[in-house]
Amino acid sequence: MKTLHTLGLVCLLALLALPLEAADKIRVLILDGRNNHDWVRTSAACKATLEATGRFTVTVATAPAGFAKPKPGRPKPGDAAAKKAFDVAMKEWNAEEAAFVKAHAAEWEQWAPKFADHQVIVNNYNGPEWGTAMKDSFTEFVMNGGGLVNVHAANNAFTGWDNFNEMICCGWRGATFAMRIAVDDKTGQAVALVDAEEKIQGKGFGSGHGPKHAFTLKTRDAVHPIMQGLPAEWLHATDELYHRMRGSADHMHVLSSSFSKPEFGGTEMHEPMVWYAPFNKGRVVTTSMGHIMAADDSHDALHCVGFQTILARSTEWAATGKVTLPVPEGFPTLEKTSVIEPAKVNWKK
């Protein structure tokens, strides 16, 4: 008994000897593995940003790999021989994909991240819909107070999943999905529009974006903990500016918006850029910033100090309801962007 007592005392003393800050770090789970964007570099950048603050410990849960063979390229109109060859190639491709999915079905059954082991999820997933058990586990996690932060294309996913649509309020959706959501420039509030209220009528009413460019974010709730201390307006580095996102404005709280300029293929309206919503006891923050594709050679959108600030503060707030992280040095101004790799950002007050 003395030996067990001594061993227990040694273990207790060892725990007490750990740095206090280690026990205080917020446990983050990044979800990725399927996305039409470069999810590898997106997750790496988000992880690096969160860890650089010293406030988080980060784990990544990656979904099983998808069928990697690209689809056959479509032939030019009017080329009958090429069309016939394309049809044969597509038939073969579909058969190969179906065989791959069947062969790897068990991997999806085994992919079951333990959400409850973490305080907040950073969602970088845009792929096939999960099974019922995983969706229920995810929903229960957020409903019971777990935090959720959705980055860029994560709001493209799960069109038919009602709970997820409620969590994100609005996302990249087709022209017939729910309502088109914009931001009233006078009130800063999310508003639902009908097609007739669109200023630009000729580009369809589903979600979209123009060419990548630097654009201004306008703070809409300066007293919210995520936004406190940020400039009223600041210039975000080159990124996609989503427009005509669709959903519901009923429980959507806009933190910042951006004006979608017609000269960049935009809507001539203010579009939501960062927003949050309650989901029972959970806090959900969504941002459409953070674009990078496999062919891109720039991390500007992800390494923008403004994006990094929003990501880190949103993650802390979603997990705890509070923000202790300061606005880091080198935050963008209205006139100038600021792109700094995460390891070099100074988060000290």
Per-residue pLDDT of the chain (349 residues), as tens digits, is 444 454 444 444 444 444 445 568 999 999 999 999 999 999 999 999 999 999 999 999 999 988 888 899 998 999 999 999 999 999 999 999 999 988 988 888 888 999 999 999 999 999 999 989 999 999 999 999 999 999 999 999 999 999 999 999 999 999 999 999 999 999 999 999 999 999 998 878 999 999 999 999 999 999 999 999 999 999 999 999 999 999 999 999 999 999 999 999 999 999 999 999 999 999 999 999 999 999 999 999 999 999 999 999 999 999 999 999 999 999 999 999 999 999 999 998 7
Is the domain of 117 the same as that of 183? yes
Is the domain of 194 the same as that of 182? yes
How far is residue 259 from each of residues 10, 194, 215, 264, measured CA to CA in Å? 60, 19, 8, 11
Is the domain of 154 the same as that of 299? yes
- CA-wise closest residue to 242 among 207, 213, 284: 207
Total-model pTM? 0.90
In a domain, 100, yes or no: yes
DSSP letters for 3-62: HHHHHHHHHHHHHHHS-HHHHHSEEEEEEES--SS-HHHHHHHHHHHHHHTTSEEEEEEE
Can you give the pLDDT at residue 3?
46
Is the domain of 98 the same as that of 225? no
Is the domain of 225 the same as that of 282? yes
Is the domain of 58 the same as that of 84? no
In a domain, 4, yes or no: no
Q: Could you tell me the CATH number of the domain that includes residue 265?
A: 3.40.50.880
In a domain, 217, yes or no: yes
Angstrom distance (rounded) from CA 279 to CA 147:
10
Dig out the tokens for 83 from the structure: 């069309």
Is the domain of 235 the same as that of 120? yes
Dig out the tokens for 278 from the structure: 């309650």
In a domain, 68, yes or no: no
Is the domain of 106 the same as that of 236? no
Dig out the tokens for 39 from the structure: 């999810």
In a domain, 340, yes or no: yes
Task: Determine how β-strand 120-123 pairs with β-strand 26-32.
Answer: parallel
In a domain, 152, yes or no: yes
Is the domain of 175 the same as that of 86? no
Angstrom distance (rounded) from CA 161 to CA 163:
6
Our CA angle for 210, 211, 217, nearest 5°, is: 75
Domain carrying residue 95: 78-110
Is the domain of 221 the same as that of 300? yes
Amino acid found at 14: A
Domain count for the chain: 2
Is the domain of 313 the same as that of 323? yes
Is the domain of 100 the same as that of 249? no
